[in-house]
Amino acid sequence: MRTIDNPVQLKLDLFTSQPVNALSNNIPEVRYLHPQPVSSRSLKLADKLEKLAATMQTTIDSKLHPAIGQQNITARRSRIAAGMREEGERLALIQRWLEGLAQSHRTGTCPSQFAKIDNRKQLADLATIYRWYEEDSKYLQDCFTYNYSIVDRLVQFGIRSKDEAIVAVELLGKLCSSNPAPEIERSVEKANELRRRAIYTKVPDFFPTPPEIIDRMLRLARIDSSHRVLDPSAGAGDLCLAVRKLGAVIDCFEINSDLHQALTLLDFQPLNYDFLFATPRPMYDRILMNPPFSKDTYIDHVRAAYDWLAPGGELVAVLPNGYRDSRITQRREFAHWLDSLGANSYANPADAFTKSDRRCGVSTHLILIKR
**Is residue 29 pLDDT above 60, yes or no?**
no
Point out the domain boundary residue: 128, 143, 175: 175
Q: Is residue 180 part of a domain?
A: no
Assign 121 a pLDDT band (cuts: 50, 70, 90). Answer: very high
Rounded distance between C-alpha atoms, residue 133 and residue 358, angstroms: 37
Q: Is residue 25 part of a domain?
A: yes
For residue 196, how many other CB atoms are within 10 A of its CB? Answer: 22
Going by C-alpha positions, the residue among 67, 75, 127 that lies closest to residue 98 is: 127
Going by C-alpha positions, the residue among 204, 259, 215 that lies closest to residue 235 is: 259
- In sequence order, what are the beta bridge partners of 188? none
Rounded distance between C-alpha atoms, residue 20 and residue 101, angstroms: 22
**Is residue 175 pLDDT above 90, yes or no?**
no
Q: Is residue 150 part of a domain?
A: yes
Going by C-alpha positions, the residue among 217, 278, 214 that lies closest to residue 252 is: 278
pLDDT attached to residue 34: 56
Spatial contact of 42 and 169, defined as CB atoms under 8 Å apart: no
**Is residue 14 pLDDT above 60, yes or no?**
no
Assign 178 a pLDDT band (cuts: 50, 70, 90). Answer: low
Question: How large is the average pLDDT for residues 235-239?
Answer: 95
In this structure, are 275 and 166 located in the same domain? Answer: no
Of 307 and 357, more confident = 307
Assign 359 a pLDDT band (cuts: 50, 70, 90). Answer: confident
pLDDT attached to residue 334: 97
**Is residue 147 pLDDT above 60, yes or no?**
yes
Assign 181 a pLDDT band (cuts: 50, 70, 90). Answer: low
The one-letter code for the residue type at 222 is R
**Is residue 82 pLDDT above 50, yes or no?**
yes
Rounded distance between C-alpha atoms, residue 319 and residue 285, angstroms: 20
Sign of CA dihedral 270, 276, 334, 327: positive
Q: Is the overall model pTM greater than 0.85, yes or no? A: no
Going by C-alpha positions, the residue among 27, 179, 46 that lies closest to residue 107 is: 46
In this structure, are 219 and 168 located in the same domain? Answer: no
Point out the domain boundary residue: 175, 207, 233: 175
How long, in residues, is the chain? 371
**Alpha carbon 63 to chain centroid, angstroms:** 14
Q: What is the pLDDT of residues 325-340, one digit of tens each?
A: 999 999 999 999 999 9
List the single range of 45-54, 74-83, 271-280 with lowest mean pLDDT. Answer: 74-83
Going by C-alpha positions, the residue among 301, 270, 299 that lies closest to residue 288 is: 301
In this structure, are 171 and 73 located in the same domain? Answer: yes
Assign 184 a pLDDT band (cuts: 50, 70, 90). Answer: low
**Is residue 84 pLDDT above 60, yes or no?**
yes
In this structure, are 110 and 13 located in the same domain? Answer: yes
Question: How large is the average pLDDT for residues 317-321?
Answer: 97
What share of the chain has pLDDT > 90, as a percent?
Answer: 70
Q: What is the pLDDT of residues 190-226, one digit of tens each?
A: 898 899 889 989 999 999 999 999 999 999 999 999 9
Rounded distance between C-alpha atoms, residue 285 and residue 227, angstroms: 6
**Is residue 290 pLDDT above 70, yes or no?**
yes
Rounded distance between C-alpha atoms, residue 260 and residue 266, angstroms: 10
Rounded distance between C-alpha atoms, residue 256 and residue 68, angstroms: 26
In this structure, are 171 and 207 located in the same domain? Answer: no
In this structure, are 21 and 142 located in the same domain? Answer: yes
Spatial contact of 288 and 231, defined as CB atoms under 8 Å apart: yes
Question: How large is the average pLDDT for residues 23-40?
Answer: 56
Going by C-alpha positions, the residue among 319, 320, 247 that lies closest to residue 286 is: 247
Assign 351 a pLDDT band (cuts: 50, 70, 90). Answer: confident
Question: Mean pLDDT across the chain, nearest whole number?
Answer: 87
Domain containing residue 326: CATH number:
3.40.50.150
Question: How large is the average pLDDT for residues 114-118?
Answer: 93
Tell me the chain's radius of gyration from C-alpha atoms.
29
Q: If you write DSSP's letter for every residue of 27-66 in order, what string do you get?
A: PPP---SSPPPPPHHHHHHHHHHHHHHHHTHHHHHHHHS-
How many domains are there within the chain? Answer: 2
Point out the domain boundary residue: 122, 141, 175: 175
Q: Is residue 2 part of a domain?
A: no
In this structure, are 169 and 283 located in the same domain? Answer: no
For residue 33, how many other CB atoms are within 10 A of its CB? Answer: 9
Q: Is residue 55 part of a domain?
A: yes
Domain that includes residue 231, residue range:
197-370
Assign 264 a pLDDT band (cuts: 50, 70, 90). Answer: very high
